[in-house]
Amino acid sequence: MHILHVVGARPNFMKAAPVLSALQRQGVRQTLVHTGQHYDAIMSDVIFRELAIPVPDVNLGVGSGTHAEQTAQVMVGIERCLGERRPDALVVYGDVNSTVAATLAAAKLGIPVAHVEAGLRSGDRTMPEELNRLVTDRLATWLFTPSADGDRNLLAEGVDPQSIWCVGNVMIDTLMRLLPIADSAPLLHDLGIPRPQRYALVTLHRPSNVDDDTTLVRVMDALESIAADVPVVFPVHPRTRRRIASRPSAPVGLTLTEPLSYLQFLALQRDAAVVITDSGGIQEETTFLGVPCLTLRSNTERPVTVTLGTNQLVGGDMARLRALVREVLDGRPKRGVVPPLWDGRAAMRIADLLTGGQCTARSESDCSTSLQPA
């Protein structure tokens, strides 16, 4: 069996790493294609090294562009690759433009697609990721969901239950593997926030938060006022940096950094008093770590982080954001539990299912519940 994996943007890399390694252990022939959607060293190469992902066999170098440009360029490149390499299956991850583009190209060539992190829905079609999820899931043959809400969403859309497999969360596989070696001390020392001082950690990159000037000003004002109570560490995504740089005045009291490596950011998350974010993956990682997460969105495609985990949706309500940060600092954070099957073995289940073998990684109880087709 020959499997071709496509990755393109930062959040794909931590999802692909454990799947590549689980399939390698089973002796499967694999080809790794990087579309080049993310290309800065810190957004890509450094994370590849930390996660020990093999150097990609192909890099399409598509870079940035409008959604249509990026999607079209990935489609053209992947179609060529699939024609040359003729894999038996394509594996795609998450919901970025590279994911949907590769899926479209493969489906048209009749190559079956496995979607890792299938079934997530925010219900918000203004988000490009939601459109990417809908199209990818419609075309994929194997739908590997991270949590039972994913199964329910797919069933409600009429997907064949035999295609849906609740395998757990591959991001958590990577987190569990690398958490023991993640150390926040050197970075915090460099930032002038040595332990045990508490701090808030912020990430923002959604177009809905950073592309509109009025919204960005309100969010930055709220963060500045929070920084009066607790140090605020803010690694700034390239998209967001451009937007902040165009503001008339520099942010006051915030510790802005370049994007961090995976290990640096993981360590900072684990040790943060509270995380403020609009990322999807960070809602999951904080739930696993038991760190309170305040999400600057009015919906989430990861509702299990709210129902079971530490996540709370704040939307655009900055007064509520400040109040919830205050609750955390006063010792009243939201507590949660780790969702089922977020146990470090999701990629092993995927590898077992793709190779048609038994799910040797699953436990007795998993076997009789989630690891049946939905």
Would you tell me which residues interact with ligand UD1 (CB under 6 A)? 9-11, 37-40, 43, 64, 95-97, 128-129, 205, 237-239
Nearer to ligand UD1, 257 or 369 (CB): 257
Query: Closest separation between CB of residue 301 and ligand UD1, Å?
Result: 11
Gyration radius of the chain over CA positions: 20
Spatial CA neighbour of 150 closest among 284, 291, 288: 284
Question: What are the E-state strand segments in the chain?
Answer: 2-7, 29-34, 58-59, 89-93, 113-116, 142-145, 164-166, 200-203, 232-235, 254-257, 274-277, 293-295, 311-313
Give the largest CA-CA distance in the chain: 60
Q: How far is the CB of 293 from ligand UD1 (least distance, A)?
A: 15
CA distance 209 to 49: 30
The residue among 39 and 369 lying less far from ligand UD1, judged by its C-beta, is: 39
Task: In angstroms, give the least distance from the CB of 53 to ligand UD1.
Answer: 16
Instruction: State the DSSP code for 158.
Output: T
Rounded to 10 degrees, what is the CA torsion of 285, 288, 293, 296?
40
Q: Give the integer Cα–Cα distance in Å for 38 and 191.
A: 26
Answer positive or negative: Cα dihedral of 40, 41, 42, 44: positive
Q: Give the residue among 293, 330, 324 at the shortest CA–CA distance from 308.
A: 293
Instruction: State the DSSP H helix or E strand holding residue 136, giving kind and residue range, or none if neither.
Output: helix 128-139
- CA nearest to 240, candidates 275, 268, 212: 212
Closer CB to ligand UD1, 97 or 147, in the complex: 97
Catalytic pick from 5, 34, 115, 205?
205
Give the nearest distance from C-beta 43 to ligand UD1 in angstroms. 4
Q: Look up 34 and say whether it is catalytic.
A: no
Q: Least CB distance from residue 64 to ligand UD1, whole Å? A: 4
Closest distance to ligand UD1 from the beta carbon of 36 (Å): 9
C-alpha dist (Å) from residue 251 to 17, 109, 155, 220, 235: 36, 50, 46, 7, 13
Indicate the residue among 50 and 129 with the shorter CB distance to ligand UD1: 129
Known catalytic residues are 205
